[in-house]
Every structure is written in structure tokens, then in C-alpha cells.
Structure 1
Amino acid sequence: MATKKIFPTKSSASLTPWLGIAAIVVLFDQLSKITITKTFQLGEEKVITSFFNLVLAYNKGAAFSFLSNSGGWQRYFFTAIALGAVAWIIVLLKKHGSQRLFSWALSLILGGAIGNVIDRVLYGHVVDFLDFHWSGFGHFPAFNIADSAICIGAALFILDELRRVNK
């Protein structure tokens, strides 16, 4: 009599749920960017709280507008890096899909990378709109849901590595 596997092994864990999480990140990211670009003019800001505004900003560079004024080559450079990361993340998810925290981290990073690649391909820049600031310290660079997913994914990745080291 054959036994049925109740829990997937590392090699048989499905890629589907992890790609689903990445797809949800992309969906929320793109819907929020479409909404902002339809309701705001470039540079327009709306105060939400004493520490948070919505603002429409375009970023032709990487994080914190790194290389944003470099003549346009950076669009293709950052797109290529992101596509390479997407491919590598899919390989890692396929191989380690049963490691939940690790796969959550990778899925969030994957969704964020795809969300920002879509912007670079369609518009030539990334749409940013979340603007946090603190009295006396100025404004943190504007960012978006894709950036947030990448940061949360990176934090989960670090947490997963710390847990692994402590075992």
C-alpha cells in the first residue's frame, strides 16, 4: 500500500504559493502606483499626518535616487540586475520552498523587484509616493509598496539567517 505524503519535502514543495505572494505584492504595488499617478501631479503632495505625506515622485535611479542623474543607462542596468535577481530567486524558491520564513522573504523581494521592473520598462522610472518625515530631521526619500516589500523581505531574510545560525 502506497503512503501519501502529508508534508512536502524540500524538493517537492510547490513553487505556486510563493509566486502567488509575489503576484499579490505586484498587484498592490501597481494598483497603488496607478492610483497615485491618476490623482496627483508630479511633485504634488498631500499631508496625511504630522509625519507622513503622499507625494508623486519619479526615481530614475536605484534606492535613495542613487545614479538618478546618470543619463539614462541606469534604467537598463537596474532592470538587468533586477531580472537576474528574479531568475535567481525563482531558482532558490524552487529549491527551498519548504523553508517558510526564507521563502516568505524571497517572495516579498521577488514581488518588489518585479513591481519596480514594470515601472522601469513602461515609464523609464520608478513611481514613488510614500513620504515619511520627522520634525527637524527632514524627509526620508519617497518610496513605494515594492520598495517596502523588498525591505520587509530583506529583514525576514536576516531574521531567518540569525535563526539558522543560532540553531
Structure 2
Amino acid sequence: MHLLYVISILIIILDQLTKHGAIKYLKDNKPIAVIDNFLEFNYVENFGAAFGILQNCRIFFIIITLIVIIAIFVFFRKNFYFLNKGMKVSLVMLLAGAIGNLIDRIRFGYVVDFISVKFKNGYGFPVFNIADSFIVISTILIIYMVLFDKYKV
């Protein structure tokens, strides 16, 4: 159980440190190319949700995020001994990602995004951050485990 708390805290710290770096080094500056024509660091203030949808709904997102965080905690406490390690880690990743973006919404009124991926066909994936990555990866893992009944001990 303690290891799960440590994982969650480390994810939140990593997320907040990288966002701090984005603010310090990328805000009001040109994007930094990491891999030419594919990956760059580009500061973006996201006032919406994933992929920039529902712009300027700060209070709505804070309330929804708090509900999700509480729901994860309640689910986790009620089912802790019935869940396998993969599901526990996935829930912790989801929780930490949600908390990371919630911190931004409360502090700044928006979420700091800075990872930009562009594909050869010209499609530019929406700019995202570390918390978003953990939210997406954990959601995919949770869906897989639930669909294939692989989340129980």
C-alpha cells in the first residue's frame, strides 16, 4: 500500500516539475525541437479538457475532477484486496494524473501542456503533459483489464 502512495506522489512531483520547467523555459519562447519534425516542447495554456474541448469551464472541470478523485479513493478502499497489482497501479496512475492537472486548474486557471508530437502526414497531435500521459495510459490499461476480466486477484 505504501508503495502505491510513493508511486502517486512521484508521478505528481514529476508532472509538476516538468510543468514548472515548461513555464520557466518555454513560456513566451519558441518551441524547442527534440526530434526534428516529430517531437517538440511547446508551451500551451489549456483552458479546456483533453484535446482542448470545452474551453473555459474551469469550475466544471474542478468539480468533475474532485468527484473522480473521490470515486477512485472510495473504489480503491472498498476493493483493495480484490484488485491485482496491475489494476492498483493503473488506478494510482489515473489518480496522480488527475491530481496533477487539478493542481494546475486551481493554481493557474488552466492546465500547462508542453509536449507536442507531429506526424509525417501533417497531423499534429494535441499538445499534452505528463499527467495527461498517465491518465491516457492508465485508462487504456483499466479498460483492457475490465474488458478481459484481468483486474482481480
Q: TM-score, normalised by structure 1?
A: 0.82
Structure 1 or 2, whichever has the larger Rg, is 1
Deviation at 1:159, TM superposition (A): 2.0
Distance in structure 2 (CA, Å) of the matches to 1:26 and 1:61: 20
Moved more, 31-40 or 131-140: 131-140
Distance in structure 2 (CA, Å) of the matches to 1:22 and 1:51: 29
Aligned to 1:130, the other structure's residue is in SS state: strand
Residue of structure 2 equivalent to 1:55: 42
1:121 partner amino acid? I
Encode CA deviations 1:110-145: one digit per residue, 9 max, x unaligned: 000000000000000000001001122321110000
Q: TM-score, normalised by structure 2?
A: 0.89
Deviation at 1:162, TM superposition (A): 3.0
Aligned to 1:164, the other structure's residue is in SS state: coil
Q: Which runs of 5+ in 1 are unaligned?
A: 1-13
Moved more, 96-105 or 45-54: 96-105
Whether the aligned pair in 2 keeps the contact of 1:96 and 1:103 (CA below 8 Å) is no
RMSD: 1.7
Q: Which runs of 5+ in 2 are unaligned?
A: none
Match of 1:41 among 27, 41, 45: 27
Deviation at 1:43, TM superposition (A): 6.4
Distance in structure 2 (CA, Å) of the matches to 1:151 and 1:41: 25
Residue of structure 2 equivalent to 1:146: 131
User: Identity of counterpart residues, as a percentage?
Assistant: 34
